[in-house]
Amino acid sequence: MIVSAARPYFCPYPGYFAKILACDIFVILDEVQFPLGSTWITRNRFKNDQGTLWMSIPVKEKGLGLQKISDVKICHEGRWRKKHLASLRQAYLHAPYRDEHMGIFEDVLSCDHESILEVNMAFIAYVLKELFCTTRVVRMSELGIQGKGTGLIVDICRSLGATRYLTQESSRKWLDGVPFHQAGIEVWSFSPLSPVYPQLWGTFIPNLSIFDLLFTYGPKSRSFMGITDAGSGH
């Protein structure tokens, strides 16, 4: 049983979904601390005729101190929703599958979701459906587990009966292997390939939101994702 976990990012890049596809159960870390400063939980990159197009979701942070991701509320003031939709429509005007996938942005951004978690989960669930993903996705909050660092991940793995924990190679240095070994859980390293595909607007920009790929290649998107085999991490 292979388990992996990550924070709920906003419209993540393809490597995020490659990791989900490579495991049996994927845990959304919705009750860990919301990072201070810039974070992929509230923003991501798309592409337009100027190059990188940043899209950010404003959230309420001032005076609230440290928050769990699940507690972070969206700031509804302003016209950012209309601006985001207009920017995406224009940026991907010539993308073959733009109209097919713009609906999820129109639906989510018009629903007045209260939390960034629910916005991000809506996009993640949509992409998983489009990729025909059968991995079971659960939230940390559903497991009734608290903690942080390696201890939290080990407890999650134990609760789900995991025999292996899948982590990206770049994150492995932050894990303490001893608790995993004591729990009888192997740590596997995973290095998702960055898909290279013909993009709109000239020079290729790697690791944009997966929606750049979906807008352009629709049902063929999964074939570009290049999932690598996880390597044993003793």
pTM of the model: 0.94
Distance between CA atoms of residues 56 and 174, nearest Å:
28
Secondary structure (3-state) at 43? strand
Please give the distance of CA 102 from its chain centroid, rounded to a whole number.
Answer: 18
Phi and psi at 188, nearest 5°, equal -105, 140
For the record, the structure tokens of 88 come out as 């995406």
Q: How many CB atoms lie within 10 A of CB 147?
A: 14
List CB contacts of 40: < 8 A, sequence separation 6 or more: 7, 9, 10, 12
For the record, the structure tokens of 203 come out as 């020079």
18's enclosing H/E stretch is helix 14-21
Mean per-residue pLDDT pooled into runs of 10, the chain (234 residues):
97 96 97 94 97 97 91 94 97 97 95 93 97 96 93 97 94 90 94 89 96 96 69 39
Q: How far is CA 208 from CA 48, 152, 159, 194, 218, in A?
A: 11, 29, 34, 10, 15
pLDDT of residue 170: 84
pLDDT of residue 227: 58
Q: Parallel, antiparallel, or unpaired: how do β-strands 186-190 and 231-232 relate?
A: antiparallel
pLDDT of residue 174: 87
pLDDT of residue 39: 97
Distance between CA atoms of residues 174 and 177, nearest Å:
9
For the record, the structure tokens of 135 come out as 């991995």
Distance between CA atoms of residues 56 and 42, nearest Å:
6
pLDDT of residue 127: 98
Q: How many helices (H) and strands (E) does the chain have?
A: 8, 8
pLDDT of residue 230: 42
pLDDT of residue 37: 87
pLDDT of residue 192: 83
